[in-house]
């Protein structure tokens, strides 16, 4: 199974060694594994257990490090659980779920049940954003609300996205730096992010499928508060088109269109929106 995700065992070890070294820089978080029928799931957690639960899912080609910059602030008010999605470059099972079925929701539901969480608030980025919306559609009675940062499943990716990704990825570290600069909309990219992406390009096989778009009926019938956040300069999705579709399908969905690219992680600033239903046309992080 690992050979389908990681190109070699040596490459896998390089990625996980980097991951472990980065986690050591965040001593306030806890790490643990839980077993599910879909394999082992690795979880990074922080905050007092008496706090309301907040569960986070990263994007494709990533892991729980995506949330570390926000973890300290979030853990002051929430018991935060950041999950490594199976089949991605983290420490969970190296089995990639098919987005066409219900495995993502079944896996997430089992994790929530094993953690004994009562209606957690869900947050997700990109693929993780799609996954938490899908879960909320399947299990609305178990979901307090959803914050989806640049999720897939709202509008189709831009054709230029794939072309740019392939073009820059084959140029080595120089190309990766250029691609990350586009994703971060020219903002400074942490060197650790660059080096991790270099490792992934060498040793990891990225997911190639895209989840199907949510139907208008699904969006209209969504029964939990949803805040959709996307950068106006997102190079993967047409953010304005996505906002227009969501607002037409369900006026109760809160939207926030930012002056950013695709690399959004500051989820803490959007929690009040999903709790209070505040609509924001343009803001900054």
User: What are the tens digits of pLDDT across the range 119-137?
Assistant: 999 999 999 999 999 999 9
145-149 vs 121-125, strand pairing mode: parallel
Q: How far is CA 43 from CA 40, 50, 57, 58, 113, in A?
A: 10, 18, 10, 12, 14
**pLDDT tens-digit map of 39-75:** 999 999 999 999 999 999 999 999 999 999 899 899 9
pLDDT band at 208 (very low <50, low <70, confident <90, very high): confident
Share of residues in the chain with pLDDT > 70 (%): 90
Residues 25-29 have a mean pLDDT of 90
d(CA 141, CA 128): 20
In this structure, what token pair is assigned to residue 156?
């189709």
> Hey, what are 273's tokens?
């929106």
Most distant CA pair in the chain, distance = 50
pLDDT band for 270, please (50, 70, 90 cuts).
low
Mean pLDDT score, 32-40: 96
Q: The whole model's pTM is what?
A: 0.91
Identify the band that residue 277 occupies on the pLDDT scale cut at 50, 70 and 90: low
Determine the pLDDT at residue 268. 63
On average, the pLDDT of the chain sits at: 89
pLDDT confidence of 265, banded at 50, 70, 90?
A: low
| Whether pLDDT at 274 is above 70 | no
For 12-135, strand residue ranges (E) read 30-36, 39-46, 53-57, 79-83, 121-125
Which of these ranges, 8-22, 25-39, 213-227, 228-242, has the smallest mean pLDDT? 228-242
| Position with higher pLDDT, 105 vs 178 | 105
Model confidence over 232-260: pLDDT tens digits? 888 888 999 999 999 999 999 999 888 77
Q: Confirm if 181 and 167 have CB atoms less than 8 A apart.
A: no
222 closest CA partner among 243, 194, 250: 250
pLDDT, position 272 = 63
Question: 183 pLDDT band (50/70/90 cuts)?
Answer: confident
Asked if residue 5 lies in contact with residue 96, where contact means CB atoms within 8 angstroms, the answer is: yes
Query: Residue 90: CB partners within 8 Å, gap ≥ 6?
Result: 19, 42, 58, 62, 63, 64, 84
Q: What is the mean pLDDT of the segment spanning 178-186?
A: 77
Check pLDDT > 80 for residue 98.
yes
């Amino acid at each position: 199974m690992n050979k389908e995700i990681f190109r070699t065992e040596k490459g896998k070890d390089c990625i996980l060694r980097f991951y472990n070294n980065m986690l050591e820089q965040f001593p306030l978080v806890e790490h643990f594994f839980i077993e599910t029928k879909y394999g082992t799931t690795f979880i990074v957690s922080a905050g007092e257990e008496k706090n309301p639960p907040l569960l986070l899912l990263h994007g494709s080609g990533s892991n729980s490090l995506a949330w570390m910059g926000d973890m300290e602030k979030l853990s002051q008010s929430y018991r935060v659980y950041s999950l490594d999605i199976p089949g991605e470059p983290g420490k969970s099972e190296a089995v990639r779920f098919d987005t066409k079925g219900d495995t993502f929701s079944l896996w997430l539901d089992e994790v929530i049940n094993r953690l004994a969480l009562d209606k957690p608030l869900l947050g997700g980025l990109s693929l993780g954003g799609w996954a938490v919306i899908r879960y909320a559609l399947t299990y609305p009675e178990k979901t307090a609300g959803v914050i989806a940062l640049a999720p897939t499943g709202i509008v189709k990716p831009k054709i230029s996205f794939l072309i740019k990704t392939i073009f820059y990825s084959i140029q080595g570290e120089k190309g990766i730096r250029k691609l990350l600069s586009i994703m971060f909309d020219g903002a400074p990219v942490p060197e650790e992010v660059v080096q991790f992406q270099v490792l992934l390009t060498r040793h990891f096989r990225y997911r190639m499928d895209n989840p199907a778009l949510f139907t208008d009926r699904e969006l209209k019938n969504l029964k939990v508060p949803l805040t959709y956040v996307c950068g106006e300069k997102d190079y993967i999705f047409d953010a304005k088109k996505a906002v227009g579709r969501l607002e037409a399908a369900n006026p109760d969905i809160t939207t926030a269109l930012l002056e950013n690219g695709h690399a959004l992680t500051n989820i803490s600033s959007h929690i009040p929106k999903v709790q209070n239903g505040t609509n924001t046309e343009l803001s900054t992080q």
